[in-house]
Amino acid sequence: MAAHFILTLHALRRFIERYPAIADLRLGQYRRFLVAELERAVRCGGSVTTGVRYLLPCGLVAVIVWHDGKGFVKTLLTLKPTNWDALGALARQHFDAGLSWKERTAILRRHGFDPAGAAGEIYRAAYQALERAKWAAA
pLDDT on residue 89: 87
Q: Which helix (H) or strand (E) holds 37?
A: helix 30-39
* 3-class state of residue 128 by DSSP: helix
Which candidate, 29, 34, 26, places its Cα nearest to that of 6? 34
Longest CA–CA span in the chain (Å) reads 47
pLDDT on residue 106: 94
pLDDT on residue 91: 92
Distance CA 131, CA 60 (A): 18
Q: Which helix (H) or strand (E) holds 74?
A: strand 70-77
Domain positions in the chain are 4-77, 84-137
For the chain (138 residues), the mean pLDDT of every run of 10, in chain order, is: 81 87 83 90 70 83 88 83 77 94 92 84 86 81
pLDDT on residue 86: 81
* 3-class state of residue 25 by DSSP: coil
Other CB atoms within 10 Å distance of the CB of residue 90: 20
CATH architecture of the domain with range 4-77: 2-Layer Sandwich (3.30)
pLDDT on residue 94: 95
pLDDT on residue 96: 95
